[in-house]
Structure 1
């Protein structure tokens, strides 16, 4: 008879881990206990040594699918004989190792029960078990027990209580457990009739409203969606008009028909096997896919774009709604554009009253907002565009401990927060653009929320070097010691921090002594990182966005850039691509015949430009894409960030999808594009006055102005030329520095056509290439990059 004790950390709460341990102990006839200790699980098991060894093996190897346990401590202890195995009450500990579980879509067992008329939870929209249901969005505090969630106000009925206490039931200690008798319910509210319709009557009224083209606000897991018929042009036009959101793509909620091929979706979108598998991931992300030829989906969902974002139901309520409706629904975040998603019925009815007069509310409180995550497959892997419900909080591990708890507050757009402590970095869900009072309020809420949840108080704060970002302003007023990181240094650190041996503890360690801090193990190898995006403040005070950095976090050397230009109107250039188009033409002495039709006061504006009045120079590749979109006639005024570049990519992608040529098979030189003069243009690279190698885009301008060439051909040539110039620059830098590892970061690398061409060219030139898989390439990764930059400064004495 032996007694062993384990302490386990990782994702072991909210995933049915304690019930699993109980059943495992019963199988091997062991006595003892299992209990939560605020972020970790303690197991004491007593019994036959052979059975204990089998128990220890299965502990990790047969854990529940959603569990990710790690053994922190294992020891043999002396203990008097025990009579039974128990799940003990949770216990708070001083040095908690907290891991907050994300929300999960309904599992197959619950969906089968949900669809069975003989079950008492038949069509119950809040069905869940230990393997699915809400977690992060309902947790008030830890440990993760029912009394610490927003389900506390729903006392269990006798039947649910019996399931909760039955170790042989899959709802044994399932904290959000509920049923139609004791759990939450929904109701449909119509402002016109001031009418509340409960339960299935409300569902019927909601579906009827959707079928006649109305817009309905529907409460989900992490907030409300605005929904309407995805095949109804007029309904979507009305939604766009009222939101207002003239052109930005809208997500589409589709029913899951349980077939291997998702057959019901074939008329609407083109799905590959990896799309289907990822759509059914427990996080239920929005996945960007090509629309089918002659798709019944309204053109208004994604005007001018080849891709559309689709998702499967993320909650039983969504399953019930979409199955009853029977066809795809637009499901866009219920918010004022750019702000965080709304979670409260009162706020929805007050702030979105002009958009919809009908709402499907439910009475399970949402403790914190979580928007839908968005992914796109690039180079065969799902790349995140936005972190949210089901994949946050996102945690990454460092192989050393931070000097002190650190808060990184990200950038101004696509904002996220990162909290670093010990050897851990926790990244928040998407907050959004910090340009409104509500966004700022949620930003501050998330900062407080993360510190409270993880029981960590930040001792310093890191922000972007741009002092006018609202995140930087907050940091300056926080009273904490303040550190600043340049925008593109954070981008570079983010991709290197994700892929280098920060995630490989056995290969890279840092050790410190009172006198000296040194690196042991594999030293940080220097990388070449391309950071191509919109604009961010550079070290020289200008606006960067087409940079190449050599080095490592905390020690970057700018070795490459794109020729800069000066769009008139400063910040206005981000939403008016014609300004960038004018600038590149004026810079190179080319005449754009359409300009005077588009621009009022053309001569006055040119005079201001010549005097460099309100025309800050930028090397941003994003602005260069804007210029190309305008010169090809695609977009002159953008209604959302990145509209021009997205449309420029789409005219290439669309032609490729019609030709049935997979995007990864040489997307640029496809003959179906009918490229006549321009397959690619060689862009010269010279060394500028700052001793930095500079790509000159000037040869692209005559091609973009050529009225005899098709828009798809020009767009393809533009992409190909930039991809080849990046490869050429990388080869030149390798000759000087010997670098072989290349990272890609910044919003421009969300462009699949460009990115896959860059991968192909760099691989053919014997480079190793990395693009984020855990974090977005866009500004959502800045908070993590700031954290990595700060942590390496600590340990490398920079």
Structure 2
């Protein structure tokens, strides 16, 4: 049989200059280019630069090379553009990798990636020099963002600079045939990082019911046996975290069925290279009751670092040699961020000893520095597609595309669930989850995050955006940069974030549904129908105000919202019967009824609290959103109450539903289903009012209440039935974790309109 020559085999020789932009560093792009050029018989070079990967190729098959460059790119690569120019022939007979260039950064690095199958095979192969090595990685997996100080992505710019390569690793690094060719974190037991304790000792401690602090990719985890009720209870006591749910870690996807009922989409999301925590329905009686008290769902993540896979093998009592890391494993670990209440994730070894000694029985460290702390990301499936609840490890720093260019803008986010965003051209880089800006440690982390984002993106901000609320720590920091400041209303930023992430251009109609935000009128907003046009906005409607007895205290004590709702209905007399164990309930309801307490809010989050209190679900909250989450967990099938809401002139009132609860006093399950069903119907009616007023056909759904899956899915379906297109947050959280992105979008528009 005669071989058929390649289509370009008889083409005349040509030389091309190519500049590849996108996530093209730290993903094996240079070795891939080298192998591809060699296969095509081309001469030239490839090099990393601050502005991407630069390539020159010469030979007869350059067009084949260009085609395959994008179609066969490495699995972690994200190619945005390939610029090309023709050059004069220069000759040569070899293709080389040249030294990287510095300069103004316009490329980016990829997120940390879960251990690939090839590295897992080596991890449990006694013939491999990576056998049982807790830091095995290659160009297709391992740490990236969390070990990188700045670009271009080279070993000297990472925390691996402290580990000179041994001869074997250096040979693999230089061998174009090796999977670790130019893999910057490459290391082995002879030259790489080391754990402070052997795996069998860690496993023995966990089996004995002890709590272990384990240093990982983006910080320390606190881990214990997820089936050991005493161990989980002890972790709650020591961490001072009475009710907030813990996540669990499993060995692999085959182990999920023993713990949870996962849909195919949830399994796929859990198994993705980002390895987020994924909320899925827990199987009753499997996990310790204290793992996720009061909730039906549990956060499940799969092992994503080599140390996790080794630990699960040891916990199952299996030899490392020949262990199958994909086989079902019955052991379940609670794995929660190692941070004493309200403080950021611990990443430093000395800091771990100081801050975790009173929590963990065993502290396991390693000597590879974590440059950037990053919590585990949290996600769920809404309307058959992934939706992030917390964005960090595995997703950051992947940028969000913007519709237009604009000034480099630093947006500072909110006070709770803070993130920051830095824009560069048509890219927005949203930081990892920072947390609530209530402590000195978190503020320090917040400042570190800003500086690292500037270093990694490679631009200096020209403009600062922040929330309208003057008491937010993030807002108070805005003036310190000495740059023009744009203050953005909280709920407008929510709508803009969802619309921009979805690629929606032009005027945006949105529902912003959350707990609190300072309104244009100085009031407490949180259930808003908004029209956003450019940098301007208009309030088209809102929830009917509810009394807010005690101001901010009402968010922590839902019984106050319940008492206020009863008083607003003219039934202050019922407050003491609903909340007999609250001595102040009578006077508080009386003050509301008399008009002496005039504080009020349009917040949907506070409406959730009022209903949870009236139904006896939750009178006092241990963590933000607890009442709403426990209320959601009671819903089997939402059912709307006939005439349960009233809509007039854009004001949506659920007083009829609240009155029903006050008189009928249904059980919690029935009430939760009635509330969610009626809420969906009422909000859909409000959205239709907005669409009729504006003529727009899409509705952006933003704010923390959209993390409620029953509400988000029900409202999306109701809008679709009304021939409206719902826009949901997907790649960024709907809550304040996505707020900085919306601020950046609006601030750039405002600046361009000056």
TM-score, normalised on structure 1? 0.89
Residue 572 (structure 1) aligns with? 553
Pairs within 5 Å for 1:110-125: 110-125=119-134
- Between the two proteins, the alignment pairs up a number of residues equal to 726
Match of 1:38 among 42, 45, 50: 50
1:56 corresponds in structure 2 to: 66
- 1:791 and 1:301 mapped to 2: Cα distance? 43
Counterpart in the other structure of 1:661: none
| 1:538 aligns to 2:519 (yes or no) | yes
Looking at structure 1, the residues matched to 137 and 706 of structure 2 have their Cα atoms a distance apart, in angstroms, of 38
1:651 matched residue in structure 2: 634
| 1:667-746 paired onto structure 2 within 5 Å | 667-669=637-639, 679-687=641-649, 693-706=650-663, 709-746=666-703
Per-residue CA distance 1:642-675 (angstroms, 9 max, x = gap): 00000000011xxx4xxxxxxxxxx424xxxxxx
Match of 1:12, SS state, is strand
1:267 matched to 2:258? The reply is: yes
Aligned mates of 1:263, 1:430 — CA distance in 2: 29
Pairing 1:128–2:149 present: no
Distance 1:120 1:76 in 2: 45
Q: Distance in 2 between matches of 1:345 and 1:613?
A: 54
Indicate conservation of the 8 Å contact 2:567/2:590, yes or no. Answer: no
Does residue 456 of the first structure (1) align with residue 466 of the second (2)? no
Aligned equivalents of 1:289 and 1:606: distance in 2?
39
2:28–2:139 Cα contact (<8 Å) kept: yes
C-alpha spacing 1:425/1:708, structure 2 compared with 1 (3 Å): closer
Q: Tell me by how many angstroms 1:476 deviates.
A: 2.6
Q: Alignment partner for residue 204 of structure 2, among 195, 204, 208? A: 208
Name the residue aligned to 2:29. Answer: 17
Q: Which residue of 1 aligns with 2:87?
A: 77
Whole-Å Cα distance in 2 between the matches of residues 104 and 276 of structure 1?
17
Q: 1:181-236 CA deviation, whole Å, 9 max, x = no partner?
A: 11111013xxxxxxxxxxxxx32221111112111100010000000110111111
Kept in 2: contact 1:406–1:462 (CA 8 A)? yes
After TM superposition, give the deviation of residue 612 of structure 1 in Å. 6.1
User: Is the Cα contact below 8 Å between 2:19 and 2:84 reproduced in 1?
Assistant: yes
CA spacing shift, 1:177–1:612, aligned 2, 3 Å: farther
1:102 is paired with a residue whose SS is coil
Deviation of the 1:615 alpha carbon: 5.7
* Secondary structure of the corresponding residue to residue 4 of structure 1: strand
Which residue does 1:198 correspond to in 2?
none
2:745 counterpart of 1:775: no
Q: Does 1:628 align with 2:637?
A: no
Query: 1:357 corresponds to which residue?
Result: 361
Verify the 8 A CA contact 2:110 2:398 in the aligned structure 1.
Answer: no
The answer to whether residue 649 in structure 2 is matched with residue 638 in structure 1 is: no
Partner deviation per Cα, 1:27-73 (whole Å, 9 max, x = no partner): 0111100001114110000111xx11111100001101111113342
Q: For 1:742, what is the secondary structure of its paired residue? A: strand
The alignment partner of 2:214 has SS state of strand
Which residues of 2 match residues 544-559 of structure 1 at below 5 A? 544-559=525-540
Secondary structure of 2:675's counterpart equals helix
Matched residue of 2:513: which SS?
Answer: strand
Quote the offset at 1:604 in angstroms: 3.6
| Residue pairs, 1:81-92, within 5 angstroms | 81-92=91-102
CA distance in 2, matches of 1:681, 1:208: 60
Distance change >3 Å, CA 58–CA 596, structure 1 → 2: closer
Q: Once the 2 structures are TM-superposed, how far is the Cα of residue 299 of structure 1 from its aligned partner?
A: 1.5
Q: Is the 8 A contact 1:267 1:295 kept in 2?
A: no
Is 2:435 the partner of 1:423? no
Give the whole-Å Cα distance in 1 for the aligned partners of 2:651 and 2:249: 45
Aligned to 1:619: 602
* Deviation, structure 1 residue 447: 1.0
SS at match of 1:528: strand
For residue 603 of structure 1, report the CA deviation from its aligned partner.
Answer: 3.8
More displaced, 409-418 or 470-479? 470-479
Give 1:614 deviation, angstroms. Answer: 6.9
| Contact 1:19/1:172 (8 A) holds in 2 | yes
Distance 1:57 1:347 in 2: 50
- Which of 697, 702, 713 is 1:756 aligned to? 713
Deviations 1:291-312 (A, max 9, x none): 12x3411111110101100000
Partners of 1:732 and 1:772 lie apart in 2 by 22
1:471 to 2:433 alignment? no
> For the residues of structure 1 that align with 2:689 and 2:585, how far apart are their CA atoms?
41
8 Å contact kept, 2:497–2:741 = yes
Listed one character per residue, the Cα deviations across residues 286-345 of structure 1 (whole Å, up to 9, x for unaligned) are 0000012x3411111110101100000121011111232230100000002333211012
Secondary structure of the 1:113 match is helix
CA distance in 1, matches of 2:587, 2:692: 47
- Structure 2 residue aligned with 1:147: 156
Query: Partner residue of 1:194?
Result: none
Tell me if structure 1 keeps the 8 A contact 2:28–2:183.
Answer: yes
Other structure's SS at 1:164 match: helix
Partner of 1:305: 295
Q: Give the 5 Å matches for 1:104-503.
A: 104-188=113-197, 202-256=198-252, 262-292=253-283, 294-326=284-316, 327-402=331-406, 404-501=407-504
Give the stretch that moved more between structures: 113-122 or 383-392: 113-122
Q: Match for residue 5 of structure 2?
A: none
Query: Which deviates more, 346-355 or 2-11?
Result: 346-355
1:421, distance to aligned residue in structure 2 (A): 2.5
**Which secondary structure state, in structure 2, belongs to the residue aligned with residue 483 of structure 1?**
strand
Cα-to-partner distance string for 1:710-767 (whole Å, 9 max, x where unaligned): 2111100100111001111222333332221111000111111111111111111111
In angstroms, what is the RMSD of aligned CA positions?
A: 1.6
Alpha carbons of 1:612 and 1:16: their partners in 2 closer, same or farther (altered >3 Å)? farther
- 1-structure distance, mates of 2:668, 2:590: 31
Most deviating of 525-534 and 171-180: 525-534
Name the SS for the 2:147 alignment partner: coil
What is the deviation of 1:791?
1.8
User: Is residue 681–residue 717 contact of structure 1 (8 Å, CA) maintained in 2?
Assistant: no
Q: What is the TM-score with the length of structure 2 in the denominator?
A: 0.94
Which of 438-447 and 72-81 deviates more? 72-81
Partner of 1:675: none
- 1:534-570 deviations in whole A, cap 9, x for unaligned? 0100001000000001233412111110011222111
- 1:493–1:552 CA contact under 8 A, matched in 2: no
What SS does the corresponding residue of 1:497 show, helix, strand or coil?
A: helix
Q: 1 CA distance for matches of 2:271 and 2:131?
A: 22
| Equivalent position to 1:599, from 565, 582, 585 | 582
Whether the 8 Å CA contact 1:632–1:705 is kept in 2: the answer is no
Instruction: Determine the C-alpha separation between the residues in 2 that align with 1:12 and 1:618.
Output: 48
List aligned pairs for 1:512-523, cutoff 5 A: none
Equivalent residue number for residue 106 of structure 2 = 97
- CA separation in 2, counterparts of 1:21 and 1:332? 40
CA contact (8 A) 1:415 1:433 kept: yes
Distance 2:569 2:641 in 1: 22
Q: CA deviation at 1:599?
A: 1.6
Quote the offset at 1:593 in angstroms: 4.5
CA drift at 1:81? 0.9
Q: Is the 8 A contact 1:493 1:553 kept in 2?
A: no
1:657-713 CA distance string (max 9 Å, x none): xxxxxxxxxx424xxxxxxxx7554311112xxxxx101111112332356632111
Shift in Å, 1:602: 3.2
Find the aligned partners of 1:177 and 1:263 in 2 and give their Cα distance. 29
User: 5+ unaligned residues in a row in structure 2: which ranges?
Assistant: 1-12, 317-330
1:640 is paired with a residue whose SS is coil
